[in-house]
């Protein structure tokens, strides 16, 4: 056993059985160098395990093959279980890790050739999937371009193959490569190595950091680290620039499956580089791991994601290596899409069809009730259509192309409506992430979507500048030249519209082209971008129109952002009441009445949080306000389950309206529907949860039963009374999540083969009349000794206690042994968080059949940012566990 092997044998998480060294001649010079690499091939062969193919893993700078111990271990686990496996070869590049220090410069082209020398000496055969990170990315992708006969697929973690001309490389690399810093920071000291190892999210364990340092104990062993930094092609004059350009061009021509796993918090390889890779390989699967950074292989279970992707793409990967073109398989998809499009063409009308139909109509289309507009501002159908057409043609004239992403940071009103319909007309993809996500959430959403264009008011443009959001910037108002320059604004909407006044409209996008990315609320984890096609947006319009009988004379008032833009699509006038749309609780009853009166609306659409304040401010209504609200015929509220008391209170303000509480989510905005009369009809039912009604015509709702671990079993059905995850299908269901392949995979896992399906993450049951009852979220299910328990039913029982205003039931303790804790808001509210008093505790415990380990009181239960109505049970659970284990009782 040599020194390297002895060192490796002592490192955590690595199996010395797979450590190999090999003398490999250079193809050009004949010089022989010793390579160190990890290889699971012999172990797979020894166990007689079928080998699906080879994963060729290439590290970057300043790591080594230790980075890939996770995928190596996964390969060995498969071997031990006797399952088919992928052989893993994880190399230490020359000058790095435990491979030879040759003393010869190894620029990018030489490193690509080095890898080819090794695989040739190994006699490697296909199918091969490359796996790489950091500057290992260009090297492995260079090998991929040069070995098409072996290549089956590519996987990359935070890397780049192109840097735009004229743009400085990331600051940390500029500093590391600066004259006078390079040698000191990378070779003479461990500064560069230490800085890289400090990029873990969470921080790397000391023993892991020490393992990464193992091959680099002396300056002589660190020369490769410095050489790697020096070889970064900072501009077109650099010696490796031409090779990087060759590789980047070759990557765009690759026709194999691809997967990009990304850590967005990377200070070096940011989303700019991910966007470039997607442009080059648009069919690639992508997953951004929010909260992870440069060392994504240490931050997240990347090996699980890689193996899942290999399983999902097994037929394509092995077929590509046998000589059948991946392109041939890919070509079948557009053919199938064309057949489907031809079948559905007769029923498809684009979202702007009503605008086209009413372009000569001087009647009111949109009313702006916001305080910034002064008095209500009315926009006619003719004016709105002209504005949309001029903006559409103008945007195309300044270079906005079909398929480019446009982030719109404009509050609801006529301007937002015109901008969005203009973008849709030219086939640009609208990115909508409202301010209710908060600065951090909004920034993460905008950066994640990586828009080509940002259109905004002054606050949005200021945030874009300060937070470094990408994209050409277009201002809604015309700014002074100094302000425009400071904010990086190149155009304003008036100028864009003027350019479009004399320009023709481009061809309309196709029904199945991408249309929009709508971000979820972030109430159940980081906000997710939900991708919709034009066909799906039109299907949403059609289902809303048909189910609620919307006509040109209906009129719509909406204080719920996702539906604020549908008025023109429905062909009816619409008004947004005066409110802060990022804070639904700012909507007052008087503001709703004013919007109804101004628009003569017969339909009102509000979020549950908005209703709370509307009801709370009803005393301020005048006789005229009440008369206006009495003309409303349909009232809808969605975004969170709405109970009978709240819906009834809203109905009392609109006595002529039929109250509805549709159930849906950003992925499928209308799934089921329920009226107040329906709720009262089931008020005596023994069912737990909130009834949200039956599936709207054309939609399907199934339940996937939970097992003893609280997980869906994978067999969705329609049996009554079974607790499980809600699984839906609908004509307007989203296409996918934007750059969240794993999330999309989970959302569609183990569902019926026919049609498109979505796992909602909600838990509940169907009753005997096929009504859906929601009982909570999947992560909030308590796995107790008697099986899984959903929280909403017990919460409803507790809320019957007179002293309790709202309740949340959360779990503490280990899995399958969870103990239930009730956290309640009381009337009057508690002054501070504490254990509940004896009387409240006794009343709460007697109200529910769920055994409670404790009852806690808080002044206010924490809710999500956007809806202000969904209780954050995950946060409460962690807080309750801390309090009951002796921690501080600060507010959750």
What's 79's domain CATH number?
3.40.50.1820
In this structure, is residue 715 part of a structural domain?
yes
Contact present, 365 and 381 (Cβ < 8 Å): yes
Q: Are residues 506 and 366 in the same domain?
A: yes
Average pLDDT over residues 83-111: 96
Give which of 156, 403, 145, 407 is closest to 260, Cα–Cα. 156
In this structure, is residue 13 part of a structural domain?
no
Residue with tokens 């609908």: 730
Q: What would the two tokens of residue 756 be?
A: 């498109």
Phi, psi of 771 (to 5 degrees): -80, 145
pLDDT band at 869 (very low <50, low <70, confident <90, very high): low
Q: How many domains does the chain have?
A: 4
In this structure, is residue 877 part of a structural domain?
yes
Q: Are residues 363 and 304 in the same domain?
A: no
Average pLDDT over residues 755-777: 93
In this structure, is residue 225 part of a structural domain?
no
Q: Are residues 711 and 691 in the same domain?
A: yes
| pTM, two decimal places | 0.87
Q: Are residues 392 and 253 in the same domain?
A: no
In this structure, is residue 460 part of a structural domain?
yes
Q: Are residues 505 and 452 in the same domain?
A: yes
What distance lies between CA 542 and its chain's CA centroid?
A: 26
- Per residue in 792-825, pLDDT (tens digit) is 999 999 999 999 999 999 999 988 788 999 999 9
What long-range pairs does 44-51 form, CB within 8 A, spacing at least 24?
44/75, 44/79, 44/85, 44/87, 47/79, 47/80, 47/82, 49/78, 49/79, 49/82, 49/83, 49/84, 49/85, 50/84, 50/85, 51/84, 51/85, 51/86, 51/87
pLDDT band at 182 (very low <50, low <70, confident <90, very high): confident
Phi, psi of 621 (to 5 degrees): -70, 140
Average pLDDT over residues 211-236: 94
What is the rounded end-to-end Cα distance, in angstroms, of the chain? 55
Q: Are residues 761 and 817 in the same domain?
A: no
**pLDDT given at position 373:** 55
As a three-state string, the secondary structure of 838-865 is HHHHHHHHHHCCCCEEEEEECCCCCECC
Q: Are residues 32 and 155 in the same domain?
A: yes
**CA–CA separation, 673 vs 651, rounded Å?**
16
Q: Are residues 507 and 358 in the same domain?
A: yes
Q: 321, 339, 369: which is the final residue of a domain?
A: 321
Contact present, 118 and 24 (Cβ < 8 Å): yes
Q: Which domain holds residue 141?
A: 18-164+235-321
**CA–CA separation, 672 vs 695, rounded Å?**
4
- Per residue in 497-515, pLDDT (tens digit) is 999 999 999 999 999 999 9
In this structure, is residue 420 part of a structural domain?
yes
In this structure, is residue 504 part of a structural domain?
yes
Q: Are residues 715 and 755 in the same domain?
A: yes
pLDDT surpassing 50 at residue 747? yes
Q: Are residues 820 and 836 in the same domain?
A: yes
pLDDT surpassing 50 at residue 865? no
Give which of 732, 712, 719 is closest to 781, Cα–Cα. 712
- Per residue in 543-591, pLDDT (tens digit) is 999 999 999 999 999 887 667 788 999 999 999 899 876 677 889 999 9
Contact present, 856 and 830 (Cβ < 8 Å): no
Q: Are residues 833 and 701 in the same domain?
A: no
Q: 507, 536, 565: which is the final residue of a domain?
A: 536
- Alpha carbon of 883 to those of 182, 326, 795: distances in Å? 50, 56, 20
pLDDT surpassing 50 at residue 324? no
In this structure, is residue 340 part of a structural domain?
no
Q: Are residues 753 and 819 in the same domain?
A: no
Neighbour count for residue 825 (Cβ, 10 Å): 18
Q: 536, 568, 602: which is the final residue of a domain?
A: 536
Higher pLDDT, 302 or 437: 302
pLDDT surpassing 80 at residue 374? no
**pLDDT given at position 337:** 45
């Amino acid at each position: 056993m040599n020194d390297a092997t002895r060192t490796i044998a002592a490192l955590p998480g690595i199996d010395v059985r797979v450590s190999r060294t090999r003398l490999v001649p250079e193809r050009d010079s004949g010089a022989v160098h010793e390579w160190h690499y990890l290889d699971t091939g012999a172990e797979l062969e020894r166990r007689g395990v079928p080998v699906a193919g080879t994963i060729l893993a290439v590290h970057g700078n300043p790591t080594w093959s230790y980075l890939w111990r996770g995928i190596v271990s996964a390969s060995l686990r498969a071997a031990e279980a006797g399952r088919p496996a992928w052989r893993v070869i994880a190399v230490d590049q020359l000058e790095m890790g435990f491979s030879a220090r040759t003393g010869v410069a190894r620029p990018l082209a030489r490193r690509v050739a080095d890898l080819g020398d090794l695989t040739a000496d190994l006699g490697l055969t296909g199918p091969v999937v490359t796996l790489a990170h950091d500057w290992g990315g260009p090297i492995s992708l260079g090998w991929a371009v040069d070995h098409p006969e072996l290549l089956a697929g590519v996987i990359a973690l935070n890397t780049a193959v192109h840097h735009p001309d004229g743009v400085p490389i990331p600051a940390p690399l500029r500093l590391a490569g600066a004259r006078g810093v390079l040698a000191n920071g990378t070779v003479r000291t461990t500064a560069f190595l230490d800085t890289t190892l400090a990029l873990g999210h969470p921080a790397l364990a000391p023993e892991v950091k020490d393992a990464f340092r193992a091959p680099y104990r002396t300056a002589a062993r660190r020369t490769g680290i410095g050489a790697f930094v020096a070889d970064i092609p900072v501009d077109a004059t650099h010696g490796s620039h031409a090779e990087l350009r060759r590789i980047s061009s070759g990557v765009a021509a690759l026709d194999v499956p691809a997967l990009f796993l990304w850590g967005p918090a990377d200070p070096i390889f940011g989303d700019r580089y991910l966007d470039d890779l997607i442009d080059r390989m648009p069919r690639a699967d992508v997953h951004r791991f929010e909260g992870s950074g440069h060392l994504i292989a240490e931050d997240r279970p990347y090996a699980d994601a890689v193996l899942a992707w290999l399983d999902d793409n097994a037929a394509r990967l092995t077929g590509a290596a046998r000589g059948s073109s991946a392109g041939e398989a890919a070509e079948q998809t557009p053919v199938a899409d064309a057949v489907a499009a031809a079948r559905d063409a007769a029923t498809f009308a684009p979202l702007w069809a009503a605008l086209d139909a009413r372009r000569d109509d001087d009647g009111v289309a949109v009313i702006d009730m916001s305080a910034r507009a002064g008095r209500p501002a009315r926009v006619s159908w003719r004016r709105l259509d002209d504005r949309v057409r001029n903006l559409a043609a103008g945007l195309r004239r300044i270079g906005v192309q079909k398929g480019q992403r446009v982030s719109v940071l404009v509050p609801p009103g006529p301007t937002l409506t015109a901008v969005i319909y203009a973008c849709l007309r030219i086939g640009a993809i609208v990115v909508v992430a409202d301010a209710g996500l908060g600065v951090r959430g909004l920034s993460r959403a905008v950066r994640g979507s990586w828009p080509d264009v940002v259109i905004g008011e002054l606050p949005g443009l200021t945030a874009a500048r300060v937070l470094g959001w990408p994209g050409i910037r277009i201002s809604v108002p015309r700014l002074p030249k100094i302000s425009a320059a400071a904010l990086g604004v190149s155009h304003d909407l008036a100028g864009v519209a003027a350019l479009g006044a004399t320009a023709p409209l481009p061809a309309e996008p196709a029904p199945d082209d991408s249309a929009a990315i709508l971000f979820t609320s972030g109430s159940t984890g980081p906000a997710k971008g939900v991708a919709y096609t034009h066909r799906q947006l039109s299907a949403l319009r059609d289902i809303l129109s048909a189910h609620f009988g919307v006509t040109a004379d209906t009129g719509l008032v909406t204080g719920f952002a996702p539906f604020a833009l549908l008025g023109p699509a429905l062909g009816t006038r619409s008004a947004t009441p005066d409110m802060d749309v990022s804070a639904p609780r700012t909507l007052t009853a008087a503001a709703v009445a004013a919007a109804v009166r101004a628009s003569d609306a017969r339909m009102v659409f509000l979020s549950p949080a908005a209703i709370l304040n509307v009801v709370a401010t009803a005393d301020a209504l005048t006789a005229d306000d009440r008369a206006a609200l009495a003309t409303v015929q349909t009232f809808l509220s969605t975004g969170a389950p709405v109970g009978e008391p709240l819906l009834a209170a809203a109905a009392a303000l609109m006595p002529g309206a039929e109250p509805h509480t549709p159930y849906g989510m950003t992925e499928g905005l209308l799934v089921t529907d329920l009226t107040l009369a329906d709720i009262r009809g089931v008020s005596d039912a023994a069912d737990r949860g909130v009834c949200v009604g039956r599936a709207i015509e054309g939609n399907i709702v199934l339940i996937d039963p939970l097992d003893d671990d609280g997980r869906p079993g994978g067999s969705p059905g329609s049996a009554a009374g079974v607790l499980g995850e809600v699984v839906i299908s609908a004509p307007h269901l989203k296409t996918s999540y934007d750059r969240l392949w794993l999330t999309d995979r989970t959302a569609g896992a183990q569902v019926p083969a026919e049609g498109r399906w979505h796992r909602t993450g909600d838990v509940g049951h169907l009753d005997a009349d096929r009504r859906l009852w929601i009982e909570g979220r999947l992560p909030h299910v308590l796995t107790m000794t008697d099986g899984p328990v959903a929280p909403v039913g017990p919460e409803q029982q507790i809320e019957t206690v007179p002293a309790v205003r709202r309740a949340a039931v959360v779990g503490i303790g280990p899995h399958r042994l969870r103990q239930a804790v009730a956290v309640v808001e009381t009337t009057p509210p508690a002054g501070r968080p504490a254990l509940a008093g004896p009387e409240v505790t006794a009343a709460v415990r007697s109200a529910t059949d769920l055994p409670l380990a404790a009852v806690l009181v808080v002044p206010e239960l924490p809710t999500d940012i956007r809806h202000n109505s969904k209780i954050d049970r995950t946060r409460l659970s962690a807080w309750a566990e801390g309090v009951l284990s002796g921690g501080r009782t600060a507010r959750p």
